[in-house]
Amino acid sequence: EVQEHQKTGAGGGVADSLVDGFLGYLHVERDASPLTIRNYSADIAAFGTWFEEKYKQPCAWVPVDSFHLRGYLVHLTERQFDRATIHLKMSALRSFFKWLVRTERVKLNPLMGLTLPKKARKLPKFLTIQQVEALLEAPLTEDSKNKLAAWRNKAILETLYSAGLRIHELVQLNDDDMDVLGEVVRVRGKGKKERLAALGGPAIETLQKYLEVRARSARGPLFVNRLGGRMTARSMQRMLKKYLIAAGLDPSLTPHKLRHSFATHMLDAGADLRSVQELLGHANLSTTQIYTHITPERLKKVYEKAHPRA
């Protein structure tokens, strides 16, 4: 599956063996997803194209230095890419050059010491508890004539919110990942790391009803389409948009907003940050900490409880 991403060469479409080697390393040794490989491939190729256009010669990679990369950073800034996108593009190059150093193709990583613009930390959007409840009820109302679709779609939304899953984690779930009695689900997260995510009572009940309506004994994908195949993230996103509209909510909200809502509601209810970090599958606590800055109500409660002059 990595082969489709390997013809990335900066020199007029000619395959670049160094890039090919790096993408192969991502696929075989790092077990990176096809999407990750595709994104890294595109970002590395974009630099190669810029280099060739600016210096009128193909990018050979080994001679690239910090001067070239600073020039590329200026180019990205002038193109008005947002800071998060710039960080992603430079991160792909940083990983590539780390691999070149490790495999002794180059002596130093030219990105060492290169200062990137600070990322603006946007507070993630989330739904209120009342909005989530309206959304979760929409499938049974909107698809009352199609019992299987109604219960399957409600189970999808309930599981997303109850366990705080990423959409690709939900898509990968199989029947045998569910532990109904234990009220947990085994999740394969980023980097193929597995974790156990908790499921609440409503999610368990909805999943049991869905499995009962589905009436399929074969072990396989948990959420299936009408042909019995695994549902895709895109089909789930289309489904979510339909129910957002039905619930009178912003149809541009993504499945990830249910994950944000999960984290926000957990912390607002008094859950400790470390526990929420584990449930979300975040490698670093700093990633989870952004959710502590969201709701003024929560900050006000903490202030009134803790400040001697509140």
**Active-site positions?**
166, 190, 256, 259, 282, 291
Q: CA–CA separation, 142 vs 228, rounded Å?
A: 22
DSSP reduced 3-state for 230:
strand
Please report which helix (H) or strand (E) contains residue 178, including its range.
strand 178-179
Structure tokens, 125:
């959007």
Give the dihedral of Cα atoms 176, 182, 286, 100; nearest 10 deg: -30
Residue 184, number of CB atoms within 10 A of its CB: 17
CA-closest candidate to residue 54, choices 39, 41, 62, 64:
64
DSSP, res 146 = -
Q: Which residue type, as a one-letter code, is found at position 157?
A: L
8 Å CB contact between 144 and 196:
no
The sheet carrying 184-188 orders its strands as 178-179, 184-188, 194-198
* Strands 194-198 and 184-188, sheet pairing: antiparallel
Largest CA distance in the chain: 69
* CA distances, 144 to each of 32, 140, 147 (Å): 40, 5, 6
